[in-house]
Structure 1
Amino acid sequence: MDACDQKGVSIVYIPKGVYMLGSVEFAGPCRGVTMFFMKGDLRAPRGAFLNVETWLGFRYVDNLIMKGGGTLDGQGQSAWPFNQCHKNNNCQTLPISVKFDFVTNSRIKSIRSIHSKNAHFSFFGCTNINISNVEILAPDYSPNTDGIKMGSSANIRISYSKISTGDDCIAILSDTSNIDISNVYCGPGHGISIGSLGKYTNEKNVNGVSVRKCTLNGTDNGIRIKSWESPISITASNFLFQDIFMYNVRNPIIIDQTYCPHPPCNRQTASHVQIRDVTYRNIFGTSSSEIAVSMQCSKKFPCKNIVMTDIKFGHHGTKKSLKSYCSYVNGRFFGRQYPPPCF
């Protein structure tokens, strides 16, 4: 792009005001630092916006800074009725609001994204990204509006942000490593998820995810690891979930290796995703269901080295007793445990 074809700092500046913007891509490589400085608000075209994967895209950019306090409005309300992916696996997907492909050594801060047609922020092939003080907003009924999703990426840090969506607040997909999430508020939405994994033949391992000092409020799931029942063999390992508060969460702690969001599913084999070395420490709050801890691991590849320390949940709004449900789990527990552990 012309804006970065010079030495020093190049700036793309959006002043205060509201501006309509069609699909656009900023492609590098650039010769120096590139700043996308948003003081104003950008608004996507209304409607389904089909046959376009991305509204705003950045590709092959090193040292990108995106900031300024402006708002990205995907106008998703006009497009969500066209989303048929819940009943058609070959559906035409709607565009992601902002997609970062092969972006490195970059910062995204103080940006607001609302009403995306599909996911808000997507990262693929990215390394060393710092995301902070972002606000992401879509109603709980909006389909596939993941807040932040990433795949084939490493060294991603997300902090001091608020995410309210109709899908995963944060989704960590195949071939991703060294992810640190801290001081994030999530709700409504489907929680913070690793996966889904094991669906596609070219998937790779996920390793090294830390989720700390986060709050989940009114979400369907809390912290979740999910994989399909398929013969795709990868490992998901070295995860730490620590100091997490949940309020009125339906599935606070969940491992689901029989993931099937839209039945019927082809259940020909147990999941071949090996989940191992997962630590849950100081996780507490209230559950809206009677099963606060659910770990349905693979019969063929049982979960290994699951460690739980100081887990305490109450039933939201009642004094009902809570339960744990486990299958094919190998692990140990320490400190207080409520509900009582099931392995």
Structure 2
Amino acid sequence: MAALFAACDEDHKAPVNPDSAYPVVVTAQAYSYDVQAGGTIWVGPEFAMGVTFLKEGEAGAEVVAPYANVQYLANGISEEDYFVPAHDNEIPYFPATGEKRHVAAYFPYSVKVIEQQLPINLREEGKKFASQLLFAREDNMDKDHRKCRLQMRPALSLITFRFQVGKPFTQEQLEAMKVTLKGFHLSGLFHITDGTVGFRAQDLPDGQIALAVPEKKKAEVRDAEEVYVLQAIALPSTETATYEAEVICNGHTYIQKFTDENITELKGGYEYIFEPTFKEDEMMLNCQSAPIINWKPGGDISGEGEEC
């Protein structure tokens, strides 16, 4: 902690080393896939995130060695959401000459990062970690603007299916409905410097994702009293040619591929809302997508991050 506030020392008897005069100051808030939920503040050292210090290079943002995936902990000593490095000798500093730097961060922290890439998956053993994954980045900071305020947003995509009662299914039929996403990627590499997800040769789009049990919610349209909502988390991807949805309801199975007309990619931090329509034995998928942007500051965080 002493090193963090070294730049604020008013004792002018000792000379200040310009290489360590301007430490980065990190604050962060966490946000969830629930668009109605407020931002949460970390208040204890059990919450750790990975922070990477970047500069502009010929190939884009480059890591300022050795500040890649530095473990930062919530200090838990104030109402403000400050984070400090787990080790004092890992504090990044801004150049005294004024060059710009970027700060990228993800949560929960993992020791499995290799070359700024973190393997993630949505299978049973990795789903909890992946579903908690948050990311934020603040660019163009310098010695005069060195306090970053990271808004840690969901890194994956939220898939939502909405069904109106009576169009054409009854409430009882919707309560027993099952929706499965097929032909999806279940594993990939999360890039800790820009928050994107990439796929290796072994990350085949052959997985299935079962949406959660239908949940009755208040309708947002005037002509329907209530709707049933099913949701799941998916990996962001620009490769959706194999993606399809299977809906089983009232003894019928409906299958429809994702097409360029309804979806072309999945973006991290976006919600994709499908409102299927049915005609005889056919199902049509209509999709609307939007970034989950209506967060607002809230109370203290209550969940527990799972370190990978």
Q: TM-score, normalised by structure 2?
A: 0.27
Q: Which has the higher strand share?
A: 1
Greater RCO structure (CA 8 Å; 6+ sep): 2
